[in-house]
Amino acid sequence: MTSEQAPAQSPVESPLPLSKYSKRVTIDSISGRPDGGPGLIGRRVVVGGWVKSSREFKMEAAAPPPAAGGPKDISCVEVLQTKLPFFRSIIKVFGGEQRIRDKIDSIIPKPPQPSISILEIGDGSCVSSLQVVVDSALAWPAQVMPNGTCILVEGAFQKPSLPDRKQKHTIELKADKLLHLGTVDHDRYPLSKKRLPLELLRDSAHFRPRTTTVASVVRIRNGLTQAAFAFFRENGFLHVQTPVTTVTDASGGARESLLHMEATLPDGVKAETIRASIKEKSKKIEELKRSGSNKEALAAAVQDLKKTTELAELVEGEQRRTRTYLSASGRLHLESHASALGNVCSFGPRFRACSPESRKVLAEIWMVEIEVAFSELKDSMQCAMDFLKSICRWIMQSSVEDLKFMAKRVDKHVVDRLQLIAEGPFEKITYTEAVKVLKQAKNERTIEWGAPLSEEHESVLAEEIYKKPVIVYNHPKELKPFNARCNDDGETCAAFDVIVPKVGTVIRGSQSEERLNMLSGRIKELGLEKKQYEWYLDLRRHGAVKCSGFSFAFDTFVLYATGLNDVRDATPFPRSIGQPNN
> Residues 315-366: pLDDT tens digits?
665 444 556 778 889 999 999 999 999 999 999 999 887 665 668 888 899 9
- Assess contact for 335 and 512: CB atoms under 8 A: yes
Predicted TM-score (pTM) of this structure: 0.79
Query: Average pLDDT of the chain?
Result: 84
Distance from C-alpha of 202 to C-alpha of 186, rounded to nearest angstrom: 19
Confidence of residue 12 (pLDDT cuts 50, 70, 90): very low
> Residues 241-254: pLDDT tens digits?
998 888 777 665 43
Confidence of residue 77 (pLDDT cuts 50, 70, 90): very low
**Lowest-pLDDT choice from 98-102, 282-286, 408-412:** 98-102
519: enclosing H helix or E strand: helix 516-525
236 burial type by CB count under 10 A (0-12 exposed, 13-18 middle, 19+ buried):
exposed
Question: Mean pLDDT over residues 371-378, rounded?
Answer: 97
Structural domain including 495 reads 214-235+369-569
Same domain as 461, residue 543: yes
Same domain as 511, residue 461: yes
Same domain as 536, residue 516: yes
Classify residue 344: in a domain, yes or no.
Answer: no
Question: Mean pLDDT over residues 173-181, rounded?
Answer: 96
Question: Mean pLDDT over residues 416-431, rounded?
Answer: 97
The CATH number of residue 223's host domain is: 3.30.930.10
Classify residue 359: in a domain, yes or no.
Answer: no
- Assess contact for 157 and 42: CB atoms under 8 A: yes
Going by the DSSP 8-state scheme, the letter that residue 204 receives in this structure is: G
Classify residue 22: in a domain, yes or no.
Answer: no
Classify residue 437: in a domain, yes or no.
Answer: yes
Question: Mean pLDDT over residues 374-399, rounded?
Answer: 98
Whole-number pLDDT of residue 185? 92
Neighbours of 397 (CB within 10 A): 11
Whole-number pLDDT of residue 44? 95
Question: Is the per-residue pLDDT at 397 higher than 80?
Answer: yes
Classify residue 451: in a domain, yes or no.
Answer: yes
**Lowest-pLDDT choice from 31-35, 197-201, 278-282, 424-428:** 278-282
Q: What is the DSSP string of 248-290?
A: S-TTTTSS----EE---PPTT--HHHHHHHHHHHHHHHHHHHH
Q: Could you tell me what percent of the chain has a pLDDT over 70?
A: 79
**Range of 244-248, 285-289, 388-392 with top mean pLDDT:** 388-392
- Assess contact for 264 and 321: CB atoms under 8 A: yes
Q: By C-alpha distance, which of 361, 357, 366, 359 is closest to 578?
A: 357
Cα separation values, 521 from 150, 489, 517, Å: 63, 16, 6
Same domain as 548, residue 399: yes
Same domain as 220, residue 161: no
Same domain as 167, residue 38: yes
Same domain as 84, residue 43: no
Q: Count CA within 13 A, CB hemisphere, residue 164.
A: 14
Distance from C-alpha of 451 to C-alpha of 465, rounded to nearest angstrom: 20
Whole-number pLDDT of residue 278? 82
Cα separation values, 397 from 392, 404, 482, 559, Å: 9, 12, 40, 18
Q: By C-alpha distance, which of 184, 186, 158 is closest to 172?
A: 158
> Residues 34-43: pLDDT tens digits?
888 889 999 9
Classify residue 327: in a domain, yes or no.
Answer: no
Same domain as 384, residue 299: no
- Assess contact for 371 and 338: CB atoms under 8 A: yes
Same domain as 483, residue 463: yes
> Residues 120-173: pLDDT tens digits?
999 999 999 999 999 999 999 999 999 999 999 999 999 998 766 567 888 999
Whole-number pLDDT of residue 155? 97
Same domain as 387, residue 281: no
Q: By C-alpha distance, which of 381, 406, 395 is closest to 550?
A: 381
Classify residue 280: in a domain, yes or no.
Answer: yes
Classify residue 20: in a domain, yes or no.
Answer: no
- Assess contact for 177 and 193: CB atoms under 8 A: no
Question: Is the per-residue pLDDT at 387 higher than 60?
Answer: yes
Going by the DSSP 8-state scheme, the letter that residue 317 receives in this structure is: T
Q: Count CA within 13 A, CB hemisphere, residue 341.
A: 16
Whole-number pLDDT of residue 312? 72
- Looking at per-residue confidence, does 455 or 358 come out higher? 455
Sheet holding 324-326, edge to edge: 245-246, 324-326, 260-261
Same domain as 283, residue 143: no
Total domains present in the chain: 4
Cα separation values, 431 from 287, 436, 493, 502, Å: 74, 9, 10, 20
Same domain as 520, residue 379: yes
